Structure 1
């Protein structure tokens, strides 16, 4: 684990953790975690642990629209939520 570092943020009772390269800028990942939590809040309406457990497929859908190959793909909340809602309608 010497070439990696763990970045985490706590929101209420939820911990969000990322394992990143030691040379990466941790502030970028702190903001990424914050944006991810904001997306979850908007999608689920005040996200809680049960939302993550019972709707893990939707959580991964949001994550897939946000990150691509470990890099931030899209930063617009409205764009991500619009895409996820469109995908959710297809299910």
Structure 2
């Protein structure tokens, strides 16, 4: 099961965070700081899976953004690694060459995409057209 999903830039600023289990606000801040420090300090030659406290971190870097997913021991790391890539591909398709600014100024859309893919910490959809369908409907309604 997925515990949390973070999108962070190289400066360590969180651009997106979604938690799938309750974590108190001040603990979230500490957790994010430690997780970000662990991921940013690793070289590109090191593995993208980290054992951290009582769960695992799976991360992937895209240009200036890191996507970090916290998972429990039973979740498949490679499946989550591919989920991250699929998430970025969906963002790329929707925003046509997604950037950090797209994420910052369209955070609601990014959350909708993530919610279509992950529900209560479980991966529920991977088909790009099905993931984007609700957003395309919203976009059409906004045009009229």
Provide the aligned length of Structure 1 versus Structure 2: 91
Identify the match of residue 41 of structure 1 among 92, 102, 110: 92
3-state DSSP of counterpart to 1:89: helix
Counterparts of 1:20-35 in structure 2, within 5 Å, are 20-35=71-86
Counterparts of 1:1-91 in structure 2, within 5 Å, are 2-90=53-141
Structure 1 residue ranges without an equivalent (≥5): none
Where do 4+ consecutive residues of structure 1 move more than 2 Å?
87-91
Structure with greater helix share of residues? 1
TM-score (norm 2): 0.59
Question: Larger relative contact order (C-alpha < 8 A, sep ≥ 6)?
Answer: 2
Cα distance between partner residues in 2 of 1:87 and 1:64 = 15
3-state DSSP of counterpart to 1:85: helix
Structure 2 residue ranges without an equivalent (≥5): 1-51
RMSD: 1.4
Cα distance between partner residues in 1 of 2:116 and 2:137 = 12
3-state DSSP of counterpart to 1:75: coil
Q: Post-superposition shift, 1:74?
A: 1.0
3-state DSSP of counterpart to 2:68: strand
3-state DSSP of counterpart to 2:126: coil
3-state DSSP of counterpart to 2:66: strand
Rg: which structure is higher? Answer: 2
